[in-house]
Amino acid sequence: MKTLQVNIVTPDGPVLETEAEMIIASTEAGELGVLPGHIAMVAPLGIGALRVKKDNSTKLVAVNGGFIEVRPDVVTVLATSAEKAESIDIARAKIAEKRAKAILEVEKNAQEFERAELELKRAINRIRVSEGGF
Ligand code: ATP
């Protein structure tokens, strides 16, 4: 089966470099499935999972915004932050979730409210990815 190279990089360094038969990314415009030979494109990513499929198994990576660049045989994800499912500290994500919810209950400042909403989204995404809920 044909494969494509998948590279996920963040400001902290590379998170994943692997071959895949297919990937599914969560872009701001919705889910994007990429097979080898896909036309070249760039799209902004939302907070979601990147699903990397190979040999009938799916690897999950939490991706917290950034860009995906697709070329026919290479997918590069430039992520604001990203964690493989097995690297996620679930206790930390649950604390972040609680903290964000507490802020959202009282915050009046629109900018701070939005910041807490994004923190909550990242935390829920990490919890979901680490539990394999995609
Ligand atoms: P927190 O509030 O827990 O710091 P955050 O969403 O503000 O979370 P980010 O700014 O997105 O954190 O990321 C900072 C760094 O910490 C990144 O390297 C990210 O991969 C890592 N990180 C954040 N949360 C977790 C987690 N639950 N498990 C593993 N790594 C995490």
For residue 71, how far is its CA from the centre of ligand 1 (angstroms)? 29
Contact assessment for residue 75 and residue 92, using Cβ atoms and an 8 Å cutoff: no
Q: Do 76 and 12 have their domain in common?
A: yes
The whole-model pTM stands at: 0.95
Residue with tokens 């990203």: 82
- Residue 4 neighbours by CB under 8 Å, 6+ apart: 19, 20, 21, 23, 34, 35, 36, 38, 72, 73, 74, 75
pLDDT at residue 16 is higher than 90: yes
- Can you give the CATH number for the domain in which 9 is found? 2.60.15.10
Percent share of the chain, pLDDT over 90: 97
- Can you give the CATH number for the domain in which 122 is found? 1.20.5.440
Q: Does 119 sit in the ligand 1 pocket, CB within 6 Å?
A: yes
Q: Do 74 and 96 have their domain in common?
A: no
Q: Do 32 and 16 have their domain in common?
A: yes
Measured CA to CA, the distance from residue 125 to residue 79 in angstroms comes to 14
What domain range includes position 34?
A: 4-85
For residue 4, how far is its CA from the centre of ligand 1 (angstroms)? 28
Query: 110: alpha, beta or left, given left = phi > 0 and alpha = psi -120 to 50?
Result: alpha
Measured CA to CA, the distance from residue 94 to residue 73 in angstroms comes to 37
Interval 87-119: pLDDT, tens: 999 999 999 999 999 999 999 999 999 999 999
With cut-offs at 50, 70 and 90, classify the pLDDT of residue 134: confident
Interval 51-77: pLDDT, tens: 999 999 999 999 999 999 999 999 999
When pLDDT is averaged across residues 29-45 and rounded to a whole number, the result is 97
